[in-house]
Amino acid sequence: MYDRTRADEVGDRFLATYGPHGGRMDTFLIEGGRRLSGTLRVHGSKNAALPLLTAALLTDEAVTLRDVPDLADIRNMVRLLGELGCERIAGPQPTTLTLKVHDASQSHARYDIVRTMRASISALGPLVAKRGYARVSMPGGCAIGERPVDLHLRGLRALGADIVLNGGDIVARAPRGRLQGAKMFLGGQFGSTVLGTANVMSAATLAVGTTVIESAACEPEIVDLANLLNSMGARITGAGSPRVTIQGVDALKGADHTVIPDRIEAGTLMCAAAITNGDLVLENCPLDALMAAREVLSAAGVHVTEAGGPSADPMRAVCRVTCERVLRPAEFTTQPHPGFPTDLQAQFMTLLTLADGNSIVTERVFPERFLHVAELSRMGARLLRQGATVVVQGVRQLVGAPVMASDLRASAGLVLAGMAAQGTTIVHRVYHLDRGYERLEERLCGVGAKITRVDDKDIGGPATEA
């Protein structure tokens, strides 16, 4: 049985360790100039796992997810689901999570948990679809620019939900107990919405009639969610294309599902190999989801080749990443999938700081996602920002310096910079990194890096206030 008091204690300890207020604040000390060499396995996808977890709210039966990464965001989501009456059943392995609803009377996703991660909004659709009522606090997450939830609400309203904002909470009701299928357009100012598509698609599985989502997100994480929902008895077609059709059903059952590999972790590790002039073999690598990123790597002189020939499953391939001695400049613009992913922008920008020439990086998904620019400049990078574009003038060498992580992917970029830099780099507030990368420093050290995790207080770090 779920113990709210116990869960709150665990959550409080987590926030004290990783959160921006009080307690221990971990920092990385990185000794640069070490070449990476060896083999790493890509973990299951965080961005896929979070909506998959909330799908357990749609059924009274158990849902088992395999290859779930052990991350701060995942632990917070499990805690949130516990408060919503969805109990975690101990599995045979830490990476296997089994969830089952035992109390459907709780429908309030509180601010104390929701503020730690934006993906908490994924509970809204399943709650109102299954229980007819949901109260979800407006979400938090990384400081990477404005990310409104208006498309989520537009889609749920199209399904017939009555939605009001009350005290910072989104309150949604299905007037007659069930949502109604509808046709809708979910395109926004910066393209489609991944979490919005996941939310509406999940809700529509239990709606009466047929739902058509036009301008749906095409990301692999949406395909993975659709695959889970279909294995639970949903009737979804078109996932991975801009037009998704959902035939509503009366009830969903349990399922056993393996999470897809994390394409953002894979891309980050590819950059780690390249920026250290290393030689890494990546197992469980979703090459098929990284075509745009691989194109940029190839232009820069980074070679990503399938090891042992073509894989039977291009989403779970084995590849080798090597680099030419001199990196070449490149250009890329972030776009919704299948374009270049915004979640790899900071890492690739870091890589291009060492290219022989000028590179151009344009951010079209989150135009303000450039907080890492100032920190990279502290390490000797030459970066000129003009609106949503940054001109990267390559330098011969980065220099170690104290830097501050501002968000999850910027943190990864600073770690990459530290591994390539001359001297010691101190990366403060790596709790951001822990939200999306499982034991990254341990894994990188296993293939040649030298990264030490310490308490900020031990090195006279900055104050812990956000």
**Which residues are part of the catalytic machinery?**
142
Cα–Cα distance measured from residue 420 to residue 433, given in angstroms and rounded to the nearest whole number:
18
Q: Which of 315, 283, 282, 412 is nearest to 302 (CA)?
A: 282
Q: What are the φ and ψ backbone dihedral angles of 264, each rounded to 5 degrees?
A: -75, -40
Residue with tokens 């779930």: 68
418 and 400 Cβ atoms separated by less than 8 Å:
yes
Strands (E), 51-168: 63-66, 86-89, 97-101, 108-109, 133-137, 162-166
Residue with tokens 């990366």: 427
Residue 6's Cβ-count burial label (10 Å; 0-12, 13-18, 19+) is exposed
329 and 314 Cβ atoms separated by less than 8 Å:
no
Residue with tokens 């990310």: 147
Residue 101's Cβ-count burial label (10 Å; 0-12, 13-18, 19+) is buried
For residue 192, what are its two tokens? Answer: 């489609």
Cα–Cα distance measured from residue 65 to residue 329, given in angstroms and rounded to the nearest whole number:
41
Parallel, antiparallel, or unpaired for β 402-404 and 424-428?
parallel
Q: How distant, in Å, are the alpha carbons of 44, 267, 404, 427, 441 from that of 412?
A: 17, 11, 11, 10, 10
435 and 71 Cβ atoms separated by less than 8 Å:
yes
Cα–Cα distance measured from residue 151 to residue 185, given in angstroms and rounded to the nearest whole number:
9
Q: How distant, in Å, are the alpha carbons of 28, 68, 115, 372 from that of 94?
A: 25, 8, 25, 33
